[in-house]
């Protein structure tokens, strides 16, 4: 079973930044000229593996490049190697049109640990704008690279990084008529794929707790569809409770003390909230319509969900304090699977119109709708930390009897930068959920 083995001990800015016009990319704009970043080879100190230094450089470059906000300067074009602690010749770096220079040093420490130091230089400003020092076990070196990429990204965008994160999803194998669905987890770049459930139990809808300790999911164990939890440290699985009906679509509250879920009673589906402390269940929606896909607002005061109470599937917002419900979608087509962004500014959704599926975002009032991607079938948007990227899955239309293939993709809020997350061969990925930043 999966266990976290990483122990990041230090992550500190070494000095205050000078007051001046800052080098920063505008990540809101739909079309933006990428910032050119030159990353030197990682300087080894002591008993350091060359594979590790090469891997750090590769991972940092790949993380930044996939955002679409940065252009990585070709390694062959780098004019010099600047040792840590020495001043770069900014004229040389400017000549190759590098706007940012990154230096790093990997140091072997006693007890099987590494320390990774890195500096970020503004070439035009001729000054150092970021410096961090990180420490971790040697087997955690790849995570050090993601944290380094987060540090660079955050300094240059002013937004929360999302590279030191994971994605939990359903890995499908086998023919369409006999699909095996297993819960799996991987780093946000697809590395470290591993299963979290066995092949004999049909599972769906996995979601992280805010502290990354637990995953809540739907399990058809013994042909009984119920919500279960998985402890990521111990591997222990527990059924959430006996609720007297099929329950599904679970989501943690922002403080991790409650789980919202849909529960079918007497043929009617409503949203309930289960308090993990008191073990009590509270009904949140009422009437005779189908209500599902709950998503809490970041402050825990509201909940978005989809319902057919208006005649077709639309998104509504429930005030958890007053019980008032407001419909927020009125566009052509059906709306489903709302997902509130971590910063509270957006709700992502699935839209179905004219035989096409779309992934989009809107503000919490249902205004300023923006379509980010469209295709034959796509669903299940989930936000990265920082609220700038959404992960979802897309299924290709089967042609000439071929099997359907599902991909996990990521798109930013401009809709300009879409990439696919690589999965192992013969695995289809559906229902992805992006984790918070790792503890």
Domain boundaries, the chain: 11-16+26-157, 166-434
Rounded average pLDDT over 183-207: 96
Distance separating alpha carbons of residues 149 and 413, to the nearest angstrom:
20
Q: What is the pTM of this model?
A: 0.92
Cβ density class 322-340: b for 16+ within 10 Å, e for less:
eeebeebbeeeebbbbbbb
pLDDT for 402 equals: 65
> Which strand (E) or helix (H) includes residue 5?
none
Let me know: does 305 contact 271? Beta carbons within 8 Å: yes
> Residue 149 in 3-state DSSP?
helix
Exposure class string for 262-296: b at 16+ Cβ within 10 A, else e: bbbeeeebbbbbbebeeeebeebbeeebbbbbbbb
Q: Write the pLDDT tens digit of every residue in 126-135.
A: 999 999 999 9
Contact present, 135 and 143 (Cβ < 8 Å): no
Q: What angle do CA 215, 315, 274 make, to 5 degrees?
A: 35
Residues 362-379: pLDDT tens digits? 999 999 999 999 999 999
Alpha-carbon 240 to chain mean position: 25
Binning pLDDT at 50, 70 and 90, where does residue 19 land? very low
Neighbours of 235 (CB within 10 A): 11
pLDDT for residue 329 is more than 80: yes
Token pair belonging to 294: 């709950």
Checking if the pLDDT of 421 tops 80, the result is: yes
Q: Is 102 helix (H, G, I), strand (E, B) or coil?
A: strand
Give Rg (Cα) of the chain: 23
Which of left, alpha, beta for 272 (phi over 0: left; psi -120 to 50: alpha)? Answer: beta
Report the C-alpha gap between 222 and 321 in whole angstroms.
37
Give the architecture-level CATH label for domain 11-16+26-157. Answer: 3-Layer(aba) Sandwich (3.40)
What pLDDT score does 54 carry?
98
Question: Is residue 205 pLDDT above 70, yes or no?
Answer: yes
User: From CA 39, how far away is CA 82, in angstroms rounded?
Assistant: 11
The angle that helices 50-66 and 141-157 make with each other, rounded to 10 degrees, is 40
User: Could you name the CATH architecture of 166-434?
Assistant: 6 Propeller (2.120)
User: In the predicted model, what is the mean pLDDT of residues 143-169?
Assistant: 97
User: Which residue matches tokens 């996990």?
Assistant: 408
**Percentage of residues in the chain having pLDDT higher than 90:** 85
Token pair belonging to 298: 């970041």
The sheet with strand 194-195 has its strands ordered as 194-195, 180-187, 166-173, 428-434
Closest by Cα among 114, 44, 108, 4 to 435: 4
Confidence label for 223 from pLDDT (cuts 50, 70 and 90): confident
Contacts of 243 (CB under 8 A, 6+ apart): 226, 263, 272, 281
Give percent of the chain with pLDDT exceeding 70. Answer: 92
């Amino acid at each position: 079973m999966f266990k976290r083995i990483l122990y990041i001990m230090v992550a500190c800015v070494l000095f205050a930044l000078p007051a001046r016009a800052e080098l920063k990319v505008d990540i809101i704009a739909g079309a933006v000229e990428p910032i050119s970043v030159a990353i030197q080879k990682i300087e080894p100190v002591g008993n350091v593996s060359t594979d590790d230094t090469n891997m750090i450089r590769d991972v940092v470059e790949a993380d930044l490049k996939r955002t679409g906000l940065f252009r990585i300067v070709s390694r062959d074009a780098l004019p010099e190697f600047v040792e840590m602690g020495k001043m770069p010749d900014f004229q040389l770096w400017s000549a190759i049109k590098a706007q940012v220079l990154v230096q790093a040093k990997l140091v072997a420490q006693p007890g099987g640990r590494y320390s990774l130091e890195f500096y970020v230089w503004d070439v035009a400003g001729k000054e150092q704008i970021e410096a961090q020092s990180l420490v971790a076990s040697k087997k955690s070196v790849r995570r050090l690279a993601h944290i380094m990429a987060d540090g660079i990204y955050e300094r240059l965008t002013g937004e929360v990084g999302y590279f030191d994160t994971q994605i939990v999803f359903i890995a499908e194998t086998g023919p369409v008529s006999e699909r095996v669905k297993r819960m799996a987890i991987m780093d946000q770049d697809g590395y470290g794929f591993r299963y979290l459930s066995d092949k004999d139990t049909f599972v769906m809808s996995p979601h992280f707790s805010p502290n990354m300790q637990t995953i809540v999911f739907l399990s058809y164990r013994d042909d009984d569809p119920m919500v279960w939890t998985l402890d990521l440290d111990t591997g222990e699985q527990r059924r959430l409770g006996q609720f007297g009906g099929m329950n599904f679509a679970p989501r943690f509250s922002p403080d991790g003390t409650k789980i919202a879920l849909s529960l079918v009673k007497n043929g009617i589906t409503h949203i309930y909230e289960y308090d993990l402390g008191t073990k009590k269940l509270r009904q949140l929606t009422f009437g005779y319509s189908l209500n599902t896909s709950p998503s809490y607002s970041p402050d825990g005061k509201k909940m978005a969900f989809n319902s057919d109470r208006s005649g077709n599937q639309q998104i509504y917002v429930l005030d958890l304090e007053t019980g008032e419900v407001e419909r927020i979608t009125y566009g052509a087509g059906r709306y489903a699977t709302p997902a509130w962004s971590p910063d509270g500014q957006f709700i992502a959704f699935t839209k179905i119109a004219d035989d096409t599926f779309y992934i989009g975002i809107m503000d919490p009032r249902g205004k300023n709708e923006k379509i980010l991607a469209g295709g034959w079938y796509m669903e299940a948007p989930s936000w990265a930390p920082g609220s700038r990227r959404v992960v979802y899955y897309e299924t290709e239309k089967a042609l000439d009897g071929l099997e359907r293939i599902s991909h996990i993709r990521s798109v930013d809020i401009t809709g300009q930068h879409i990439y696919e997350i690589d999965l192992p061969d013969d695995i289809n990925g559906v229902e992805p959920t992006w984790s918070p930043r790792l503890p």
